[in-house]
Chain A
Amino acid sequence: MSAFVEIDHVDQVFPMPNGGKYIALKNITLDIQKGEFITLLGHSGCGKSTLLNIVAGLAKPSAGGVILAGKQVTEPGPDRMVVFQNYSLLPWLTVRENIALAVNRVMRDQSAAERAAIVDQHIDMVKLRPAADKRPGQLSGGMKQRVAIARALSIRPKLLLLDEPFGALDALTRSGLQDQLMQIAQEHQLTCIMVTHDVDEALLLSDRIVMLTNGPESYIGQILDVPFERPRERLEVVNHPSYYAMRTEIVYFLNQQKQAKKRKLVAAEPIARNGLEKVNLDIGFVPLTDCAPLAIAKEKGLFEKYGLEQVTLSREPNWKAIADGITTGRLDAAQMIAGMPLGLTLGMNGKPPVPVVTGLVMSRNGNAITLSKRFYHDGVRTLEDLKEAIARTSDKVPTLAAVHPASMHNLMLRHWLASGGIDPDKDVNIVMIPPPQMAIALKSGTIDGYCVGEPWNSRAVQEGTGFVIATDLDIWSGHLEKVLGVREDWAARYPNTHLALVKALLEACEYCDDRRNREELVEILARPDYVGVDPAYLRPGLVTPYDRGTDAEPEQLLRFNQFYVDRTNCPYRVEGLWIMTQLARWGIAPFPRNWLDILNRTRRVDVFGAAARDLGLPDIEPNRGIVTFADGSVFNPDDPIGYLNNLTIKHDNVRIEEISIDPPVAAITH
């Protein structure tokens, strides 16, 4: 069923006097059901009134649109009546005339007597009969707002839009009007969108509270469902057991936003050459098939194309070296496993937090779980078989390997095991081994299986030592895999360089995904500068059908290495949130109570968006919504802590704490 109101990928961009652009709203997507009462909440300047004006048709979005009951909103109309913040009554008309102006216009097919009756009925509804022939100048603020509400309701709008309707009123008048509005909305089954920054008002009136982050590029940070029964009574609502918790949640959100506003970043360095602050970059990578975008950007001169004249690609032995290179500043940027920027930001394994940001996802999928052929001979074909096999040999705990605690391999291997009822911390032993050593370790029998990217699965398959029990398409198809990571202060010092780097790699990603270029990719990656292996190991999945090393025929997996298609490249915030829940789930890092702020800082959707727009590519972040995994489990981004609490298999001590990633004050003053 389609929603009553669909706000579909709305962007609002304002030109600035200096010729630049101010992106007020970015990618706002929201479905509203009939009869629902929605509140838009956020600090002033976050664009909530702009959004309301877009729904009203008073402002045109720069991109995206609004659909009301199946029809696109193109201009203002009485089906979306607005109750304006400052009442907007015409001062030269009486109360009755103000309402009549609306009724006479909108209901012009009815007789004059019928229209007069409607006007009277609505004057009575807001209890203003004694003041019906007075002009607005003679009324109090509360009375004026009642007239405005009566005027809005008199024309039977499909959607009622309220822009901070009670903001200017004293507390007593306000609560009286709130009760009245609630009653009217209930009686007429009105669909309402209200803008406010009053938390209690939002909780009392709304079915859902949509919280917008601060601008620029405001987006929906969190949506809170308000489950109180209707009809509501003010006191019942306030005394509801979950009222206080919800209120805290909202206030916490607003405080986080306020803090983010105050934060000062490092100033940008002066421009050196080509409009960039820095043109010589050291970029780290680990030899894997999905380092292809870096290799292509280098070989095809894409770095130079965007002004980065001296890029050195540094081939690192393992992910730990990448992490160290970035934290010490030896590397400017690096290809990273998806969880690494967040892991470093949160201070995984007890290390001090080093904020690292992601402006580009370079690849999706591309991993597989390989088990020793021994399991295959024992009849293990599925996860259930594996569980039984482990149970059979209770004296021996199998050792499985991943590449880094914060890598998607580790998180997905654990998620996969847990979904089959295998506790990755108790039923198996998980160790960390660099990707190029996986196949050798399996061959030597040090480990019994691993999760890694290509070509290291195909190598074991082709050498006959292992078989692929699951690819990530079987666990979470389309998950993010490798990202571009730079330190937050680096991004602040070299903003144009960062943007140029993202552009160069984005163009490289597009090149890599074109299947006509895949043979060339294999040829380049096989060189010793990059992966340095036999091309035969690189082809499966990337070019040729994927061979799992089982009896099954090799299968063509078109999305096995995904570099560009299907919105690969946006550092989608919800995915970042899921990663943080997993880091906490397995005790790698605490889950930040201030997750929204962490996401906002580390997922640089704005940098990706700017790069995509410069390249003429779509800059849309995927719809914020529930993530469904192959095992049927779901992740709701509005309640990450609830998700974490509901997981049965997890680390004994899942920590949830406020994580401050700002440098201590003393460090700044030095």
Chain B
Amino acid sequence: MTAELSRRSNNSLATMLFTMLGRSIKRLVPTAIALFILLALWQALCSAPDASLPGPVQVVQDTWELIVDPFYQGEGTDQGLFWQLIASLKRVAVGYTLAAIVGIAVGILIGVSLLMFQALDPIFQVLRTVPPLAWLPIALAAFKDSQPAAIFVIFITAIWPIVINTAVGVQNIPQDYNNVAKVLQLSRMDYFFKVLLPATVPYIFTGLKIAIGLSWLAIVAAEMLTGGVGIGFFIWDAYNSGSNSEVILAIVYVGIVGLLLNAIIGYIASRVVPEEQK
């Protein structure tokens, strides 16, 4: 199922995944067996007539309509799963992009300036421990609308790992490189683009990778509370209407999309991070 989905999304990504799979074919066999046992166990546990959750066969039967027609468009929140996911991904895209831009900038700032680091780092250490959903009421109160509030939650969730990793990256630029820059009296522009940025890129991508995972975690939870089209609200809505099969299907999709997001960032990193620094 994984391979099937990825083939649809991006060709070179699929090739990469395939080569990855090919390389680890031995590792894949146990995974497949484990998956099969898990499904069988699940089926066995839920095959009793009074079981509270449906088994895998039941799930596929119940949600066949949703699986085969992800592009269905109805009224209001009655949309196909593809559109639900797209709606969630759009929010993540906006929030995450904002977090990346602001996070890298702030990270470089506090990485370069010890004063800024001393001023801001303790505050960041406190703020980053606040759970994403705790921001939601404040965001709703401030923006008076659920859409920007959800985006804000993504933003505030994703920004901390980016800021902190970028700052660490800047602080860890090898002294040798800084010495070269000092002796040559490189201009600020040269220093930024020839030394600071290339040296920090691996750290930035570590932050970006952590952040994308967190964003996806946060969006599902946020949407459950804010409503509207989106995979989070879809799950909540399915639960309220008593369709546990739909909930389970949505969870599978959420997991797969999360995996894909991670793979995409990893792929970009592999293209951008200089060979010598991996």
A residues whose Cβ falls under 8 Å from a Cβ of B: 56-58, 75-78, 80-82, 84, 86, 88, 90-93, 101-102, 105-106, 135-137, 155
Contact = CB atoms under 8 A, between A and B. Distances in A.
Contact of A84 (B179, B184, B186, B198): B179
Nearest to A137: B276
Nearest to A98: B180
B42 to A, nearest CB: 49
A218 to B, nearest CB: 22
Contact of A78 (B179, B183, B194): B183
Interface residues of B, number: 18
Interface string B166-202: 0000000000110110111111001000110010000
Contact of B183 (A58, A86, A92): A58
B2 interface: no
Interface string B197-232: 010000000000000000000000000000000000
B277 interface: yes
Interface string B97-127: 0000000000000000000000000000000
Contact of A76 (B183, B275, B277): B183
A77 B186 CA distance: 10
Nearest to A56: B183
B207 to A, nearest CB: 19
A78 B185 CA distance: 7
A322 B260 CA distance: 89
B185 A84 contact: no
A166 to B, nearest CB: 17
B198 A86 contact: no
Nearest to A86: B176
Given A84-B176, A101-B190, A90 B183 contact: no
Contacts of B275: 135, 137
B198 A88 contact: no
Contacts of A81: 183
B276 A135 contact: yes
B274 interface: yes
A136 B176 CA distance: 14
A84 B185 CA distance: 16
Contacts of B274: 91-92, 135
Given A76-B185, A77-B185, A105-B186, A90 B180 contact: yes
A221 B176 CA distance: 30
A78 B182 contact: no
B185 A90 contact: no
Nearest to A78: B184
A82 B178 CA distance: 13
Nearest to B275: A137
B179 A88 contact: yes
A81 B184 CA distance: 8
B179 A105 contact: no
A101 B176 contact: no
Given A57-B182, A90-B177, A90-B180, 12 more contacts: A58-B179, A76-B183, A76-B185, A77-B185, A81-B183, A90-B194, A92-B277, A101-B184, A102-B184, A106-B184, A137-B275, A155-B184
B187 A105 contact: yes
Of A78, A105, A137, most B-chain CB atoms within 10 Å: A105
Contacts of B276: 91-92, 135-137
Contacts of A105: 184-187, 190
Across the A-B interface, the 10 shortest Cβ-Cβ residue pairs: A91-B276, A88-B176, A92-B274, A137-B276, A76-B182, A92-B198, A76-B183, A88-B180, A105-B184, A102-B184
19 contacts: A58-B179, A58-B182, A58-B183, A76-B179, A78-B183, A78-B184, A84-B180, A86-B176, A88-B177, A91-B277, A92-B274, A92-B276, A101-B184, A101-B194, A105-B186, A105-B187, A106-B184, A135-B274, A136-B276
A82 B185 CA distance: 13
B194 A93 contact: yes
Contacts of A155: 184
A23 B43 CA distance: 75
A578 B176 CA distance: 44
Most-contacted residue by chain A among B184, B190, B194 (CB, 10 A): B184
The residue among B180, B195, B198, B274 with the most chain A CB atoms within 10 A of its own CB is: B180
Contacts of A76: 179, 182-183, 185
B183 A82 contact: yes
A58 B185 CA distance: 12
Contacts of A92: 198, 274, 276-277
A58 B184 CA distance: 12
Contacts of A58: 179, 182-183
A84 B177 CA distance: 10
Contacts of A137: 275-276
B205 to A, nearest CB: 14
Contacts of A82: 179, 183
Contacts of B190: 101, 105
A90 B276 CA distance: 10
Nearest to A104: B190
Nearest to B174: A88
